[in-house]
Every structure is written in C-alpha cells, then in structure tokens.
C-alpha cells in the first residue's frame, strides 16, 4: 500500500470509530424508523398479521371525502378533522401567552430589584413535570371543590363543569397552557430580544419627543418581528404535538372534544393497532410542521436582510 492510501484508511478508521456508537443507535432508532414509517404509511398493518400494501389508501381514508346517499359531501374520517379542530382550538392560548410574556419581559427589562428571583418564579410552571401540573390542575378545576369554581361562586355564579363539559374542556386546557407558558421560553426569548435592541434608538426617539407608547409602537414592536414569528411557529409545532395533559386529565374526552392529532395517532397505533394508518397520519403531521418551519426560515432571512 502506498503511504497516502494507508493514511487515508487510517483516517477513515479513526473517523468511523468515533462515530460508531452514535451512528448505530441513530440508524436503528432514527434513520431506519423514519424510512420504515414512510413505507408503513402505504400499508395496512396490525403488528400481528403480515402487512398488506394499500397504495395511497391510508391517505385517502384520512384526508379524502365521499358523497353519501343523501348527496352530502362527507369526510372519510371525520374524527381526524375533529382532532385537527381540537388541536388548533387549543392553540388559541398562544396569542394570550405572547401578550402576557411580552408584558412581563418589558417589565423585567426595567432592571428592578429582585428581577432574577421573579424570573425564576415565573419560570417554575414551565419546568414542572407535566404529570404534576396535570394532577394539580385536575384539583383546581374540580367542579365542586376546585379553587376556580370557588372564586366564581363568590361572584354569585355557578362555575362550569370544566373538564367534563365539551364546551369548557378546551378553554380549560388553554388556561393551563397560558399559565404554564407565560413566564417560560417565550418570555426569555422576548427578554433576550429586548436586550438586543440598541439603546441609542430610544435615546434618539426621546430627544424627538416620542411618547413611551410611540417608542414601543415604532421601535420595539417592529424589531420584535423575527422573534414573534419564531415564537408563533414554535408554539404551533408544540401545539400539534400536545398529548400528555389530555391523556392524563380527560383521556381525550368528553366525547372526543380534547383528542389532539398526536393523541389520535397514539390511539390508532396502540389502541386500534392500525399502524399503517397511524404512520400516514404522522407523516401528515410532519408535513404541516415542515411547511411551518420552511416559512419560518424564509421569514427570518427576510428580516436579517432588513437589519443590514
């Protein structure tokens, strides 16, 4: 062997031995499952009998529609669309969280004493394990003895049956989500973004006699554009994957009113053992996340361009 070839072989060996452990795991538990999942999306498979090729059948059952005897157009799987509706409905807490987080970030940015302690307290709900938050809120939302309905009763009104009521279960999750998210990741991102705005902008505006509201409206808000967009996209991606809270608190009920997309995938795969169908659904979920991520990249690039 020529010396250069030998060196090349040795380099390759070193490189691959460093990679080996990680790459075997990555292949077995990520790369191969991704490919397998895509293949499975075109099969009917119940984890017992042999998989049966169904072409795009899973996707048409999931996304397609047909005309029933009365001539009405019906979705092939109305449950899926209902889950999509539930999932999107429960994302409505996102604007609430954003407004609250921004207000907190603006206040904390004033460098008041005790800011660090306050920030820690605001952050606690975010890092709390989901199971503990779920058990705590089950008790808070208890229709008879819960604290929320106690407060409502003091106003002379009887509070709703929250998690037992199809109309109130989704708003209950929005409430929990807002409580859990307001002082978390979103607030930290706003805080970082605010600290990144050069102080000279505000000084110049002040000299020109701009009111605090005008300074916010014409300096802060436009410069928060990229971070706003990032938060929205991350929030929507997270919202699409909502599962644990609903599983613990309502089991997706009452009457399926809190079953999310991720929950429906879980049910199809591990309760009904329709694994091909569930895989197809997971890819539809991925597609939605993918489109959002691409959008976010585009938008971000446009904004960095504007900074220049």
Partner 1 sequence: MTRYESSVGRVILLLVLVAFAVTMMIPFLWSIATSLKDPAAVYVQASSFIQNFIPRDPKTREVSIQWHNYVDVWRKLPLGRFYFVSLVVAVVTTFGRVFTSSLAAYAFARLEFPGRDKLFLLYLATLMIPGEVTMIPTFIIVGKLHWMNSYWALILPGMFTAFGTFMLRQFFLTLPKDLEDAALIDGCSRLGIWWRIILPLSVPALVTLVIFTFLGSWNSFMWPLIVTDTTDMMTIPVGLAKLKGDYSQEIALMLSASIQVLIPVFILFVACQKRITEGIVMSGFGGI
Q: Rule CB under 8 A: which of 103-122 touch partner 1?
A: 104, 107-108, 110-114, 118-122
Name which position in 4, 30, 49, 70 contacts partner 1 (CB under 8 A).
30
Segment 32 to 91, residues that bind partner 1, using CB under 8 A: 32-34, 36-37, 40, 47
Region for residue 83 given its phi and psi (left: phi exceeds 0; alpha: psi -120 to 50; beta: otherwise): alpha
Q: Is 166 in the site for partner 1 (CB under 8 A)?
A: no
Answer yes or no: are the C-beta atoms of 177 and 90 closer than 8 Å.
Answer: yes
Instruction: Look at residue 50 and give its three-state secondary structure.
Output: coil
Minimum distance between the CB of residue 155 and partner 1, rounded to whole angstroms? 12
Nearer to partner 1 (CB atom), residue 81 or residue 266: 266
Minimum distance between the CB of residue 226 and partner 1, rounded to whole angstroms? 11
Answer yes or no: are the C-beta atoms of 105 and 194 closer than 8 Å.
Answer: yes
Name which position in 74, 131, 167, 255 contacts partner 1 (CB under 8 A).
131
Distances (CA, A) of 69 to 17, 72, 73, 74: 64, 7, 10, 10
Peptide bond into 254 cis (omega under 30): yes
Place of tokens 């102080």: 199
Nearer to partner 1 (CB atom), residue 160 or residue 233: 233
- Which uninterrupted H or E stretch holds 194? helix 185-195
Size of the site for partner 1 (CB under 8 A): 95
- Give the C-alpha separation, 202 to 226, whole Å: 19
Segment 259 to 288, residues that bind partner 1, using CB under 8 A: 262, 265-266, 269-270, 275, 278-279, 282-283, 285-286
Residue 239, number of CB atoms within 10 A of its CB: 20
Nearer to partner 1 (CB atom), residue 85 or residue 139: 139
- Strand 52-53 and strand 65-67: the pairing is unpaired
Nearer to partner 1 (CB atom), residue 81 or residue 185: 185
Minimum distance between the CB of residue 145 and partner 1, rounded to whole angstroms? 6
Instruction: Look at residue 74 and give its three-state secondary structure.
Output: strand
Name which position in 98, 102, 105, 140 contacts partner 1 (CB under 8 A).
140
Answer yes or no: are the C-beta atoms of 264 and 277 closer than 8 Å.
Answer: no
Name which position in 44, 75, 88, 188 contacts partner 1 (CB under 8 A).
188
The two structure tokens encoding residue 213: 């509201």
Q: Is 204 in the site for partner 1 (CB under 8 A)?
A: no
**Binding mask 216-235 vs partner 1 (x if CB under 8 A, - otherwise)?**
--------------x---x-
Name which position in 143, 159, 171, 184 contacts partner 1 (CB under 8 A).
184
């Amino acid at each position: 062997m020529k010396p250069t070839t030998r060196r090349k072989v040795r380099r390759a060996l070193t490189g691959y031995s460093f990679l080996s452990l990680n790459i075997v795991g990555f292949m077995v538990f990520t790369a191969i499952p991704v490919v397998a999942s895509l293949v499975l999306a075109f099969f009917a498979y119940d984890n017992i009998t042999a998989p049966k090729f169904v072409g795009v059948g899973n996707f048409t059952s999931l996304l397609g529609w047909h005309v029933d005897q009365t001539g009405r157009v019906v979705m092939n799987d109305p449950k899926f669309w209902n889950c999509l509706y539930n999932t999107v409905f429960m994302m409505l807490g996102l604007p609430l969280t954003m407004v609250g987080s921004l207000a907190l970030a603006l206040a904390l940015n004033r460098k008041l004493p005790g800011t660090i302690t306050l920030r820690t307290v605001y952050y606690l709900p975010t890092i709390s394990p989901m199971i503990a938050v779920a058990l705590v809120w089950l008790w808070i939302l208890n229709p008879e003895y819960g604290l929320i309905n106690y407060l409502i009763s003091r106003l002379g009104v009887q509070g709703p049956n929250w998690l037992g009521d199809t109309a109130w279960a989704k708003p209950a999750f929005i409430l929990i989500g807002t409580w859990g998210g307001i002082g978390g990741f979103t607030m930290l991102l706003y805080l970082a973004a605010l600290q990144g705005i050069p102080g000279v902008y505000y000084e110049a505006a002040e000299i020109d006699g701009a009111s605090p509201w005008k300074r916010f409206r014409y300096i802060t808000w436009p410069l928060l554009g990229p971070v706003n967009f990032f938060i929205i996209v991350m929030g929507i991606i997270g919202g699409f994957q909502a599962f644990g809270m609903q599983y613990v608190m309502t089991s997706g009920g009452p009457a399926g009113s809190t079953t999310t997309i991720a929950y429906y995938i879980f049910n199809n795969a591990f309760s009904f053992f329709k694994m091909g169908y569930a895989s197809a659904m997971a890819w539809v979920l991925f597609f939605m996340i993918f489109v959002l991520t691409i959008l976010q990249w585009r938008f971000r690039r446009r904004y960095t361009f504007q900074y220049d």
